[in-house]
Every structure is written in structure tokens, then in C-alpha cells.
Structure 1
Amino acid sequence: MTLPALDTSEISFLGYWNALDHSTEDSIDPTEVLNNGSVDAHNVYENGVEGLFSFGFSRATSRTVNFRVKDDGWFVAWLDTSGEFDTHVPKDGDLHGPYDYLGDWSYPGSVDPSKSLLAETIRNLYTELSNSGTITFNSSDVAHFNYEYPNATGITVVHSKQTESSQQEDVTPTDSTTVHRAYFAGSAKDGASGVNWDPNNQGLDLCGNGEMFGVPADDTTYFTNPLESGVTSTFAVNADGYESEDAAGDLLVLWS
């Protein structure tokens, strides 16, 4: 039995990359990726494998990424459409969603805008191939698509981290740009003032019950917030640290 067609109705972000396009080899053995210790449940098919990859976060519970590897060289990793929005939880809370595309946003400053969680999943899997030494992997070669917003042609990540004082990072879509969706995720360490963002000049403070200085003692707050499509004004991501305690915010924008 070969791999069945993907049910794209349950997929948000998807990343894809072909190992043979970046190799001197002409074949791979997909079953070799199952040797990775982070692979959970999996199935083996005539033309490839499908499974779940457990990706650990610093202060949130692990995120499960779906993946496929085929004998024609294709690696595919994706996130489902489930998630929590407009909420915040204490440290070690279970808060996940499509914004996990960012990677480990649960710890201030851990996000690398050049590497998605999906690209990192593919990187971890391909290294298990016995001929991985003949393959060149770069995160920038992993293409991405979002099935919930199929008309989006671009993805932008805005990252802001600060320790002692407030820092703001802006991105302003041009008049010809359509914003299809924006996700926000942020975290503040114990004692940090917090993080907010400013979609369409609304000035949303998303720290400790909506109070900019409301982070509870001995606590870490996570917050996420969606943005309606069609907003074309400036996004501002603000991180406000205090007394060497970090705060960070990340904005993920789908646009065309």
C-alpha cells in the first residue's frame, strides 16, 4: 500500500523539501528517518513513511509535528489547524497553535526568524539518512504553504526581545499588500514587564490579564492573538524587560 493522499482540510502550515534536489545521490531510504529518537507513532508504506515528530519547547509542553518522507526524496512536515487564541497561561502550560511555526516561542529570545519549526523537523529527520553526507541542507531551501490561507504567497516573522528596557520592531505592509492572517506569540520571564503588539494601532497589551506590568511573581505568561485579514497599517511588536529579566514577542504574518 502506498501513502494515501493528504487530508489538507486539517493542515495549517506545511513545509516541503526534496533531498535528491540537493544531493549527488539518486535515492534515499525513508525508513532510516525512523531511527530518530523524537519520532513517535509511525506507519511504513511501499513508497515512504509517515509519522509524528515530538519537538520539545523550553517552557511549554512538547509540540507534535506531522511528517512524511518518500522514496522520491520528498520530506513534508506540517502543523494541524488546532490551537488556542486570545489567551495566556502560566509557565509549563499547554498553549499551542499554528503560531508554533515560529519554533520555541515559549522562552524569550529562542525564536530564529530564519528557521521554522517545520524546517527544523525536516533537518532532524534527514540527518538520519545513511547518505546524508552527500546531501546539502539549508533551512532557506524549505518551501512553505498554508492550506487555511492558500492565497498567501509570503511569510514574514518579526522578532523583538529586550532585557532591561522596551524595544519595538515594526513592519509596514505596502498599499499593494494584502494581509491574510497574522499570529502573535510572546513570553515574559519572572519579573519582566511584558510584551504587547499594536495591530492597526489598537495597542493591545497582552501580559498578565491585559496589564502591561501584570506578570505574576514567579510566573511566565504566554499570549497569542489573531489579526483579521485586510489590515494594512503598521504592526508594532514591543518587548519590555525589567531588571535583567527577558521578554520577547514574535509576529507571524501571511501576506500576498
Structure 2
Amino acid sequence: MVDKLLARATSPTQYDLDDISWSTENGLQSPTRKFFFDYLLGFKEEWRDSDILDIGCGTGWLMHLLKENGAKSVEGIEPSHKNVAYAGDNGFEIYHCDLDSFSEDKRYDLLISVMTFGHINNIDSSFEKMARLVRDGGGVQLIVPAYDYFKRERDGCKVEFEELNPEEYVVQVTREQGTIAEIVRKVEFYERAAERVGLTVEDSIPMVPTDSLMRDSPRHATFKGQPITYLVRLRK
């Protein structure tokens, strides 16, 4: 069971499977995407006049919003064939690859990644890559799952998980949009990985359900005041 879940969680083509359809969630019409964006928006000054790389950009939903809020340029990395095809010619450069195989020819002022690192097995290698991609003085904004939340039963979801060690478990969640497997880690795991590659942890913000999320997705009201994700902010 563990091996099967891990294989799915870390497969770069998981989002190409027939039992997933995130393309039904368009932009900020998705309550969870709006939730993520609302927290990121608190740091939009870091986007201004910046070259930004969106790691695991999916269908490109965030790229337009970054540009509209002052980014100088926005590029994305996405390994899923289905997501890249759905994004189509959206006016942004989307590289069809994963982070490990992405070119290091260019440097960026800011790296942003929303719910991507749960699909990456070798965190140390990925953080080393990010440290090389970001310019001196540049930043990293990561949204990652909250350890306690993702293994809890919740309305409208079937949750299966297996512990890997005291800081990691692999979970498979089946919801209306499909089935997603990912590795969930304690936020301290990411903080230590950042420090090992010379990135400074500025803060790790508990992302508790907002009023708009609880209104538009009532199942999240059960977790009022409890973090469901974290926004980890790093600096080189």
C-alpha cells in the first residue's frame, strides 16, 4: 500500500490520470485557489517588478494574477501533459518539465510554489535547485500542506494515509475533482531543508480557513482556526 501511494504521489504524470480533472476549477472561481491567493496577496510587494518562476504551475491559474499585480515577468514549470495542454497559449512561458530537469540558465527574483512539494520525493535536491535559481536577495514563497489536517477525515473526501516516519506520511484524498496522492511533511522539515542550502526562513504562516473559504466551501468551517496549509517564506 505504501509503495503504491508513494509511486502515485511522486509521479510527474499523476495529473494526467483519468481520475483527475482540476481543469474544472477555473481561476479564483475555485474556493481553495482563492484561499491560497488571498494569503499570497499579503506579500504582493515582493512581486512588483520581479521575474517570477511558478514551480508546478498547473493550468497557469496563478500566473495571470501575479502579472496583474505587478510582476515584471512570470514563467512556469509543469510536468503534466494535461495541465500544459489546458493552459494552451496563455501568453506565458510554461516549461513542460519537472524541477529537477529545469534549466539553470536563468535566475529569478522570486520562486512561488503552491501545493507542489508534496509531489517531490527528494526535498534536499529540490531545495538545492531553488537556491541556485533564485537571485541573491531574492525570495521563495511555498504553500505546503499542514501535517495535522491532511490525514483527518472531512466531509466530501475519502482519506487514506500511511506513516513514513515521525515527520512524513503519504496520503491519498479522493474528492469531487478526483484522487490526489501526496507526501505530507511537518513544516519544520521544509525549514531545515531551506537552512541546509543557505536559505533563511523568514516565517512559516499557518493558513487557517478564511471567512470566504468557509462560506464558499462549508466543509472547511469544521477546521475554523486550525491551519490547513502553511505559507513558508524564504530569503537568499
TM-score, normalised with respect to structure 2: 0.28
TM-score, normalised with respect to structure 1: 0.26
Q: Which has the larger radius of gyration?
A: 1
Per residue, is there more strand in 1 or in 2? 1
Per residue, is there more helix in 1 or in 2? 2
